[in-house]
A and B are shown apart, each in its own frame.
Chain A
Amino acid sequence: MAVKIALPKGRLLKKTAALLQRANWDLDEYHSKISFYHPRSKRFPELVIKVFHEKDIPIQVAIGNYDLGICGQDWVEELMTKYPSSAIIRIKDLGYGRGELYLAAAASQRISLDKIRAGKKLLRIASEYPNLAETFALKNRLARFCVYPVWGAAAGYPPENAELALVSGESLAGQEAGLVPVNRVLDYGAALIANKNSWTGKDLGEIIASICDEVSVTEGKPAAWAAASDPGTYQPPAETSPDCVRLALPDGHQQQPTLELLQKCGIEIEDYPSAAGNRRPKLSLEGFRTKVIRPQDMPLQVANGNFDLAVTGRDWLREHLAQFPSSPVKELADLKFGGVRIVAVASQEMPVNDAAELRKFNQGREAPLRIASEYIHIADYYARENHLGRYRIVPTWGATEAFLPEDADLLIENTQTGRTISRHNLRIIDEIFTSTACLIGSSRPVRNRVKSERIKSLLDKVRRAVEEEN
């Protein structure tokens, strides 16, 4: 059987490509502008290569979809700490992509490890590494804690929205956050990993040797923390007054249309989008405080009462409500930009045209239907609603198209034009809903009169601006 390897895109791509170049793999397509995910190697023409988001690779190797993988050890640890019996062998530290994970807190809070161990109050930890965060909390006997599993911007959460963040040293170096480390949790770098059964049962020797022989001198550790840990001139935000409205604004590609909307409402905003990574831009409106976080994370933060309003997508609101049906978060205004369709996608070869045919198709199979999605709770809901029978959700972190047809049977995906989908020889079999940007808030009554009026006034402005535009 052909040997399969999963290679990373993103952070590790360039140095991984260089390593494989030295190893004479002679890949036809593996570079930063990658649009297809199946590079081929002239040296190993039989080898099946696929490119994934780094975070997906340990899972793909553990479940045996791939024999080998290259990814950061941080994501291997994130999986292994929760599922220690995962079938992964760490073969070799590849010497590049070094980083460190820190548990960090706002400098202004003066939090120490001893303090959090002794405390009885609820500690909130924001992290892209929720399993490592939980392990840390359990090991250190935190009396009461919760973990916010965020998609990004974890360093922006303390001190108002979380006491602690488990983040890479890199994200602490941007001094805007004003974070200081409480504890170093993990040192990591790129690693070659293998599936345990492949390792014991398959001949991977030539491929492994070609990589290991070319591992050059280990990179030094990243710049010492001390350089980055100086809180500098950073001023922690003053305590939020009870009549202040806390507004979450999106990072990423929703920034420009959000900025335009604010301008149409006659609201000025300073340093947004921010080249320096400022997460707390200032609004010209009095009594508002903003923070820039990932749209994916906003509904949960509104449900928790960390924000009063947020600009996110309906897809992420629906995802949140599929996980927490009684959540108080609701859509207050449709902002009508950033429109995408959330669709069910199958490969051209799959003989189904809609959900009913999919149900029949799955009834005749032994193996569970594998549904890959970034929207794991929407995917779960879709499978339940349509009585798809036995199924398994494969969580992904983007580039989901790459999963079909080998590593999943169905995708729940968003698409603007449908072009990416047809380019990968895939086809839409069901449209689940249409998503646009929306302003969300909580259905819980706002007791503070001043704050309630401020919310209402902004909502009026936004609704008017959207109406005029459309």
Chain B
Amino acid sequence: MKIPRVKGTRDWSPEEMTAFRFIEGKFREQCRKWGYHEVRTPTIESMHLFTSAGTLTPGMLNRVYSFLDWDGWSGERVVLRPDGTIPIVRFYIDRMNNGSLAKLCYITNIFIFEETGKESRERWQCGAELIGAPSPLADAELISLALKISGEIGIRDISIRLSHAGLIKSLLGGIGLSKEEQDAFFDRILDGDVATLTELKTKNSAVADLLPSLLKLKGQSAGFLNNLKAVTNIGEIREHFENFMAIVNLLESLDLDYEIDIASGAGFEYYTGVIFQLYTGGRKIGGGGRYDDLVPGMGGNDAPACGFALYIDRLMSLVNLEKAEITYPEIILVSIRPGEDVTLDRLFKAQEDLHRAGYIAEIEMAEKRPVEVRWLLELGGKAPLFTLTDLSGGTRLEAGDISGVQKILEAKSGRQNRPA
């Protein structure tokens, strides 16, 4: 029977959950090694966290799940978390905003409406936020960490696309746009709409003429940035160019491949500095950037900040579990020899002993055997008290007690099948 799911939702099967836990495990392991601490924030948050300028673009906000809670008579809405970073910043301001350095990581689901229902409206991501540390060192650390985790998961051939929100904003300012126009155009660039820039009619036509082509250009070296800088070398713009170049130089010294693509925005208005996106095989698997104004903008004390998120749903389709060499303990089915009188407490005791020794031991249910099972352990009322059958090979061995059973298992199991 088919019971349809809600459009835009998905189930995860045991196999998919194995891939999820594998990715999650690698992410946690690396974060722990790099000194990041895991936190968890609620699924439901106040909508106003996400509505102010400098948070999410209107394009994103129109696809947020919002509603009045059961006690929402004030009329203020709540949302299903549409973004991973903003709740972490709220947490930071609430609990840690005393000038200290915060290295936080999270694994979470986010909710964004998607029209066709072909892509999931509930997405999982794992991310890290480094709050209190300035550019460019912190930016380089996060890019390196994101790449390290992806590599550990087994994903190679990652290309990094770099942009710089501060640079885009200052360029828009440099051509004489008003604050509102700057915001509007920045949002449109972040929502992926570069073509509209050609409509620009502005005061500083020298830069304005160049801007659309600047945004379309792509390059692969710090030299490219230097060339760009040469044509638009004015005031505030220079500062952002220098920051951008410092990061690029750091990445080069780390021997990381990257591509500069100024127009590769990402729907997050909170970025103020470098924006990086990770691609493999043409698909985006994650991204992040610097957001120095978000903590003060949300009411906290000044704190420079930077972070990234990896998209678990995308990674799951790329991870190769066989190559990943995940090891499972062997499965032993525990049962009563037909026709013999064995009390259930003995059955459960034998199962528990095997669990303690690190095996997966299941009680046999109604002769429906799990597929991957190798061993069948039968308990008897009289000698031999235990018989162990290798279901793959057909050998049948006997033991007088459970430690005898364990000895057989240790001797017979291949190395790769040792208990975990």
B114-149 toward A: CB 8 Å interface, digit per residue (1/0)? 010000000000000000000000000000000000
Please state if A326 and B51 are interface contacts (CB–CB under 8 Å): no
Please state if A137 and B72 are interface contacts (CB–CB under 8 Å): no
Check if B12 is an interface residue, CB within 8 A of chain A: no
Please state if A327 and B62 are interface contacts (CB–CB under 8 Å): no
Please state if B70 and A138 are interface contacts (CB–CB under 8 Å): no
Please state if A146 and B74 are interface contacts (CB–CB under 8 Å): yes
| Given A138-B62, A139-B58, A141-B53, A324 contacting B75 (CB threshold 8 A) | no
Residues of chain A contacted by B75 (CB below 8 angstroms): 124, 146-149, 300, 304
| Given A143-B48, A143-B52, A122 contacting B76 (CB threshold 8 A) | yes
Query: Which of chain B's residues 39-66 have a Cβ closer than 8 Å to chain A?
Result: 48, 51-53, 58, 61-62
Check if A303 is an interface residue, CB within 8 A of chain B: yes
Residues of chain A contacted by B73 (CB below 8 angstroms): 300, 303-304, 320, 323-324, 327
Please state if B53 and A143 are interface contacts (CB–CB under 8 Å): yes
Query: Whose C-beta in chain B lies nearest to the C-beta of A113?
Result: B180
Residues of chain A contacted by B68 (CB below 8 angstroms): 323
Contact partner, A141, options B52, B72, B74, B77, Cβ 8 Å: B52
Residues of chain A contacted by B77 (CB below 8 angstroms): 146
* B81: min CB distance to chain A, Å: 17
Residues of chain B contacted by A148 (CB below 8 angstroms): 75
Please state if A141 and B51 are interface contacts (CB–CB under 8 Å): yes
Please state if B51 and A304 are interface contacts (CB–CB under 8 Å): no
Query: Which of chain A's residues 147-175 have a Cβ closer than 8 Å to chain B?
Result: 147-149
Contact partner, B61, options A124, A138, A145, Cβ 8 Å: A138
Contact partner, A138, options B51, B71, B76, Cβ 8 Å: B51
Residues of chain B contacted by A304 (CB below 8 angstroms): 73-75
Residues of chain A contacted by B72 (CB below 8 angstroms): 324
Please state if A144 and B48 are interface contacts (CB–CB under 8 Å): yes
Please state if A324 and B71 are interface contacts (CB–CB under 8 Å): yes
Query: Whose C-beta in chain B lies nearest to the C-beta of A139?
Result: B58
Please state if B76 and A137 are interface contacts (CB–CB under 8 Å): no
Complex: A135 Cα to B73 Cα, angstroms? 20
Query: Which of chain A's residues 402-427 have a Cβ closer than 8 Å to chain B?
Result: none
Check if A200 is an interface residue, CB within 8 A of chain B: no
Residues of chain B contacted by A124 (CB below 8 angstroms): 75
* A57: min CB distance to chain B, Å: 24
Residues of chain B contacted by A84 (CB below 8 angstroms): 62
| Given A85-B115, A122-B76, A138-B62, A143 contacting B71 (CB threshold 8 A) | no
Residues of chain B contacted by A320 (CB below 8 angstroms): 73
Check if A142 is an interface residue, CB within 8 A of chain B: yes
* B316: min CB distance to chain A, Å: 28
Residues of chain A contacted by B183 (CB below 8 angstroms): 141
Residues of chain A contacted by B61 (CB below 8 angstroms): 138
Check if A325 is an interface residue, CB within 8 A of chain B: yes
Please state if A144 and B51 are interface contacts (CB–CB under 8 Å): yes
Query: Whose C-beta in chain A lies nearest to the C-beta of B187?
Result: A141
Query: Which of chain A's residues 104-142 have a Cβ closer than 8 Å to chain B?
Result: 117, 122, 124, 135, 137-139, 141-142
Residues of chain B contacted by A149 (CB below 8 angstroms): 75
Please state if A146 and B76 are interface contacts (CB–CB under 8 Å): yes
* A145: min CB distance to chain B, Å: 8
Complex: A85 Cα to B71 Cα, angstroms? 30
Query: Whose C-beta in chain A lies nearest to the C-beta of B73?
Result: A303
Query: Whose C-beta in chain B lies nearest to the C-beta of A302?
Result: B73
Complex: A373 Cα to B115 Cα, angstroms? 28
Complex: A326 Cα to B68 Cα, angstroms? 13
B69-102 toward A: CB 8 Å interface, digit per residue (1/0)? 0111111110000000000000000000000000
Residues of chain B contacted by A142 (CB below 8 angstroms): 51
Complex: A144 Cα to B72 Cα, angstroms? 15
Contact partner, A137, options B51, B70, B71, B74, Cβ 8 Å: B51
Complex: A147 Cα to B115 Cα, angstroms? 25
Query: Whose C-beta in chain B lies nearest to the C-beta of A328?
Result: B73
Please state if B71 and A144 are interface contacts (CB–CB under 8 Å): no
* B295: min CB distance to chain A, Å: 16
Complex: A228 Cα to B419 Cα, angstroms? 84
* A20: min CB distance to chain B, Å: 36
Contact partner, A144, options B52, B58, B62, B70, Cβ 8 Å: B52
A419-450 toward B: CB 8 Å interface, digit per residue (1/0)? 00000000000000000000000000000000
A67-95 toward B: CB 8 Å interface, digit per residue (1/0)? 00000000000000000110000000000
Please state if A138 and B53 are interface contacts (CB–CB under 8 Å): no
Please state if A143 and B51 are interface contacts (CB–CB under 8 Å): yes
Query: Whose C-beta in chain A lies nearest to the C-beta of B77?
Result: A146
Best-surrounded residue of A84, A144, A147 (most CB of chain B within 10 A) = A144
Query: Whose C-beta in chain B lies nearest to the C-beta of A141?
Result: B53
Query: Which of chain A's residues 306-346 have a Cβ closer than 8 Å to chain B?
Result: 320, 323-327
Given contacts A84-B62, A304-B73, A304-B75, 12 further A-B contacts (CB under 8 A): A138-B51, A138-B58, A141-B51, A145-B51, A146-B74, A146-B77, A147-B75, A148-B75, A300-B73, A304-B74, A326-B71, A327-B71
Chain A residues engaging chain B, CB cutoff 8 angstroms: 84-85, 117, 122, 124, 135, 137-139, 141-149, 300, 303-304, 320, 323-327
The 4 closest A-B pairs by CB, nearest first: A146-B75, A303-B73, A143-B52, A141-B53
Chain B residues engaging chain A, CB cutoff 8 angstroms: 48, 51-53, 58, 61-62, 68, 70-77, 115, 183
* A–B complex contacts, Cβ < 8 Å, 17 sampled: A122-B76, A124-B75, A135-B62, A139-B58, A141-B183, A142-B51, A144-B51, A144-B52, A146-B74, A146-B75, A146-B77, A149-B75, A320-B73, A323-B70, A324-B71, A325-B70, A327-B73
